[in-house]
Amino acid sequence: MNKDDNNIKKRFSRRQFIKWIGALLFGSAIAGGVGVNLLRDKVAALNEEDKDGNKIERQWVMVFDLRLCDGCLRCSEACVKEHYLHKDQSWIKVFETTDHLGTKVQWPKPCMQCENAPCVRVCPVHATYKTDDGVTLINPDKCIGCRMCMAACPYNARTFNWDDPPPAPATFTKPSPEYPVPQIKGTVGKCEFCVHNIRFGKLPECVKACVMEVIFVGDRISDLATNGIKTVKLSDFIVDNDAFRLKEELNTEPRVYYIPGHGQDYTYDD
């Protein structure tokens, strides 16, 4: 690894981030091409192709810097608002735990987007599936509400829609796996990394809402991650800060990383 690349950190405005992630989506940032106007090339993004017709490859991840989290719950509230969920149904929950020194640490937890996802394996109707860019989605039209995926998930990341969802705008009539709004009573829901945002050069809602700059969204292919204010080299950011993943002993290969707050020895019990 080139040492000159270490600690790459730049301050980005929101507008600059949109340009940056847009360049990633169309390959221009890596290839050294000219910046692409997102509106002009929206069709290319929908087809997951760059301006030359080449298929875009992305592998999305998230990184949570626990050193900065104050447990304000803005990420959870933003998730509820964006997906028209009940207030107690947020797909990113914030827990409080303690390290080996007894220091309290706030712990946001979305879906881990596991590469070896137990929920995918157990779904009897293949409603849960993996996408090419590494996100686990649920097809609401296929879900039969058996809750086998909920039982299989070691991270308790899924919720069941016992009731009808809160009212959504009339324009949202057909929920999709990428943007499952409104939720359907009798089905299962979970965090989908806001792929309806990131695939179009926008930040996930939890990232936008976090005033403490805790949450980074990244792409393994470009090896970059950003919280909308700062961008970092993903691999260095993870290694240099001793980032870890939850329950790695289960070999689920989560795509969510955590940077320790005040110690290394956390106990995860949820």
Q: pLDDT of 206-261, one tens digit each?
A: 999 999 999 999 999 989 999 999 999 999 999 999 999 999 999 999 999 999 87
Give the pLDDT score at 25: 42
- Cα–Cα distances (Å) from 221 to 28, 146, 193, 243, in that order, read 13, 35, 17, 19
pLDDT at 104: 84
pLDDT given at position 1? 46
**What single-letter amino acid sits at 232?**
V
- Residue 267 clears pLDDT 70, i.e. is over it: no
The confidence score (pLDDT) of residue 230 equals 92
Q: Flag whether pLDDT at 183 surpasses 80.
A: yes
Which is more confident, 103 or 128?
Answer: 128
Phi and psi at 51, nearest 5°, equal -70, -15
Least confident of 37-46, 183-192, 213-222: 37-46
pLDDT at 109: 97
Average pLDDT over all residues of the chain: 83
pLDDT of residue 48: 53
Residues spanned by CATH 3.30.70.20 within the chain? 57-259
Confidence of residue 97 (pLDDT cuts 50, 70, 90): confident
Confidence band of 17 (pLDDT split at 50, 70, 90): very low
201 in Cβ contact with 21 (< 8 Å): yes
Four-residue CA torsion sign, 188, 191, 194, 195: negative
User: What's residue 93's pLDDT?
Assistant: 96
3-state secondary structure of 137: strand
Percent of the chain at pLDDT above 70?
A: 76
Least confident of 65-79, 91-105, 198-212: 91-105
Question: What pLDDT does 173 receive?
Answer: 84
Confidence class for position 46, pLDDT limits 50, 70, 90: very low
Report the CATH number of the 57-259 domain. Answer: 3.30.70.20
Q: What is the DSSP code string of 229-262?
A: SEEEEHHHHHHHTT-B-TTGGG----SEEEE-SS
Buried/exposed 201-210: b ≥16 CB within 10 Å, e otherwise: bbbbbbbbbb
Q: Which two tokens stand for residue 262?
A: 């005040």
Contacts of 252 (CB under 8 A, 6+ apart): 112, 114, 115, 116, 117, 118, 154
**Mean pLDDT score, 66-92:** 96
* Higher pLDDT among residues 253 and 36, named by residue: 253
pLDDT in tens, 151-176: 999 999 999 999 999 999 988 889 99
- Do you find a cis peptide bond into 167, omega within 30 degrees of 0? no
pLDDT at residue 63 above 50?
A: yes
